[in-house]
Chains A and B, each alone.
Chain A
Amino acid sequence: QVQLRESGPGLVKPSETLSLTCTVSGGSISGYYWSWIRQPPGKRLEYIGYIYYLGTTKYNPSLNGRVTISVDRSKNQFSLNVTSVTAADTAIYFCARINGGSFDSWGQGTLIVVSS
């Protein structure tokens, strides 16, 4: 069964870039769409965007062009960058696999705090 694991810094300063990596194990990254989702404290889940294993991306307009998702098939990983972060970007960030539109496998999530 495929497993996903997020890795990242935990703490990011305001105005800097948040960078996270999702490592996929137990299966290939090929053939699927992969996504990032986040949940700010006390709020509902928010879809950030997805990437196809060949590199096609689509992002949620709510993030105002600050998001980039990339894929590294040689490492079975995909990554998220969010630029110019503010306290509003503090959240638990999840990576997930998309299968037909729903998310059939998720990472445990990693808490990212934006603070100086």
Chain B
Amino acid sequence: EIVLTQSPGTLSLSPGERATLSCRASQSVSNNYLAWYQRTPGQPPRLLISDAFTRATGVPDRFSGSGSGTDFTLTISRLEPEDFAVYFCQQYGSSPYTFGQGTKLEI
């Protein structure tokens, strides 16, 4: 199965700054079938990005996804207070689907 490794484990930034989160796959993700999710306390995970770069409905355009093959990036251009959360990636190019361990974005 494909192992996804996210870095950094924790990212400390301030509102207004730019965040860059990485997700690296142990082998190439077929068709760049990679998604990003946001998880905040008390809330279900929220889909942000699918197919590596397609924003989900209602997701602000400060969130963007990029990458291909084994290296993928989630960028948040200017952090808002509500963006401080845990972010994780997921691949669905190969069975079984697998998840990264998460990056905590803290103030």
Contact = CB atoms under 8 A, between A and B. Distances in A.
B51 A61 contact: no
A58 B50 contact: no
Interface in B20-45: 33, 35, 37, 43-45
A56 interface: no
Interface stretch (A10-18, A76-84, A98-106): A98-106
Contact of A100 (B50, B88, B96, B101): B50
Contact residues on A (Cβ < 8 Å of other chain), bracket: 20 to 34
Contacts of A106: 44-46
Interface of A: 4, 44-47, 58, 60-62, 94, 96, 99-109
Given A101-B35, A107-B44, A108-B43, 17 more contacts: A45-B88, A46-B99, A47-B97, A47-B98, A47-B99, A60-B96, A94-B44, A94-B45, A100-B50, A100-B51, A101-B33, A102-B51, A102-B90, A103-B47, A105-B44, A106-B45, A108-B44
